[in-house]
Amino acid sequence: MQDFPHHYQATATAAEEGDVPLASAGLPEIASAPPVEFGGPGNRWSPETLLVAAVADCFVLSFRAIARASRLTWLGLQCDVTGTLERVERVTRFTRFEVNVRLTVPPGTDRERALKLLEKAEQTCLITNSLSATTHLQAEVTAPG
C-alpha cells in the first residue's frame, strides 16, 4: 500500500440534456443520469446508485483483505446494500445503509470467526467511515452440504 494521503480524480462532463459521462484516467467511461425518483430514465448509473455500489464494493474488498490477512478460506460472498435517502431538516441525504451479506465457507469452517471477520469488514470500510449515514450489517455464514 502507498503512503497517505491518497488522491482520486474523476471528471463529469455534461450538456443541457442527456447522459453525464464519468471518466477517470485508465478506466472505462460510464454513463450517468438521474434515477427514476428524480425524473431520470432509470437505465443508467446515478450518483445515488454509484454511492450504494461503492458501499457494497468497499465492504467486499475490505472483507477480502481481512480474510486474507486472517487466513480464512471462503468460497463466495454476496453483498446487497440498500441506501435510504430522506429529507432531514430540509436537507436530502442518505440516512442509512442496510448491508446484507451471505458468506459461503468450506464445511468445517469456524462460522463464529467468519462472522467476526465480516463485522470487522463493516467497521473498517473506508466508504461508510467517510459518510454520516448509519450502517447496519445483517450477515449470514453458510457452508455447502
**pLDDT band per the 50, 70, 90 thresholds, residue 145:** confident
Q: Are 60 and 43 a contacting pair, CB within 8 Å?
A: no
Average pLDDT, the chain: 97
Q: How much is the average pLDDT of 68-74?
A: 98
| Cα dihedral 47, 50, 52, 55 sign | negative
Name the percent of the chain lying above pLDDT 70.
Answer: 100
Q: What homologous superfamily does CATH list for 47-142?
A: K homology (KH) domain (3.30.300.20)
Residue 88 cell numbers, joined = 432531514
Q: What residues are paired with 139 via a beta bridge?
A: 101
Residues near 111 by beta carbon (within 8 Å), at least 6 away in sequence: 105, 141, 143
Q: What is the pLDDT of residues 109-143, one digit of tens each?
A: 999 999 999 999 999 999 999 999 999 999 999 99
pLDDT band at 45 (very low <50, low <70, confident <90, very high): very high
AA letter at 31: A
**43-62 average pLDDT score:** 98
| Number of neighbouring beta carbons within 10 Å of residue 139 | 19
Helix, strand and coil content of the chain, in percent to the nearest 5, comes to 30, 30, 40
88 has a pLDDT exceeding 90:
yes
Nearest 5°: phi and psi at 77?
A: -140, 125
Q: Cis omega before residue 21 (within 30°)?
A: no
